[in-house]
Amino acid sequence: MTNATTTADTPTPARAIEIRALHKSFGDLQVLRGIDFAVDTGEVVCVIGPSGSGKSTLLRCTNLLEEPTQGHVLIAGTDITDPDVDIDRLRRRIGMVFQQFNLFAHLSVLDNLTIAQRRVLGRDKAEAVQVARQNLVRVGLADKEDSYPAQLSGGQQQRVAIARALSMGPELMLFDEPTSALDPELVGDVLAVMRGLADDGMTMMVVTHEMGFAREVADRVVFMDDGVIVEQGTPGEVLSNPQHPRTREFLARVL
């Protein structure tokens, strides 16, 4: 028997990410022109679109690396555009991986993974090392903890960057073209790590040009052009049966 009262009293779990009427301008340049968009917990969303369409700006607004000009960004129900929010505390809950890996060149892999855990989260050395080692296993680099970034391939460096982000225990991960700087033969290992995270239930928002990854791993694909979401849907809908001419034009160029 259904019970209407129970249903009404059960709070709807907050979305992992909710973006409402987001606008972002740099001076006169309107880069995001009204984005409404949400990501559920455990969902993997791939964002695709031409260069300059605002994909990186959207990701950067999601963890307040850029301040929205207008609109709201909620992370697990907390409005991060509220001036009272402790943004450093909030940002720790969001892992970010960039095209450029940004590892500390003068630190070993292990130290790259422990430094923020110790300085930002206040973990003691033993705990930080244990967490780091677990995450190096996760990205297939358990044997590289004493290496320095320059001794690793680009793909290995990016996997270290992913392990570093994971070591902070984020509840969601943002990826901005994580494989775009890599030689083609190194892309697969990084995508495999990301696929593993998706399989483990990580909430992920991934800007990518890897249409194969989007097709196989994304729950939803979002096509952006000129600062707006033009269309979104399952990979099958957006990649195989696009409804909008701009999506078709873009896919014809990249597929």
Considering beta carbons, is residue 31 or 109 the nearer one to ligand ADP?
A: 31
Reference 104, options 166, 147, 41; nearest CA is 147
Looking at residues 219 to 238 of the shown chain, list those that interact with ligand ADP (rule: CB under 6 A).
Answer: none
Reference 83, options 92, 97, 72, 96; nearest CA is 72
Q: Find all residues with CB under 8 Å of 162, minimum gap 6, and list them.
A: 97, 139, 178, 190, 193, 194, 197
Considering beta carbons, is residue 29 or 105 the nearer one to ligand ADP?
A: 29
Tokens 């923020």 belong to 116
Residue 26 binds: one of Mg ion, ligand ADP, none (C-beta under 5 to 8 A by kind):
ligand ADP
Q: What is the DSSP secondary-structure string of 36-87?
A: EEEE-TT-EEEEE--TTSSHHHHHHHHTTSS--SEEEEEETTEETTSTTS-H
Looking at residues 3 to 62 of the shown chain, list those that interact with ligand ADP (rule: CB under 6 A).
Answer: 26, 29, 31, 49, 51-57
- Closest approach of ligand ADP to the CB of residue 26, in Å: 3
Number of shown-chain residues binding ligand ADP (CB under 6 A): 11
Does 242 help bind ligand ADP (rule: CB under 6 A)?
no
Considering beta carbons, is residue 10 or 51 the nearer one to ligand ADP?
A: 51
User: Sign of the C-alpha dihedral, residues 194, 200, 206, 209?
Assistant: positive
Q: Note whether 234 and 242 are within 8 A (CB).
A: no
Does 104 help bind ligand ADP (rule: CB under 6 A)?
no
Enumerate binding residues for Mg ion (CB under 5 A): 55-56
Looking at residues 55 to 74 of the shown chain, list those that interact with ligand ADP (rule: CB under 6 A).
Answer: 55-57
Q: Which residues bind ligand ADP (CB under 6 A)?
A: 26, 29, 31, 49, 51-57
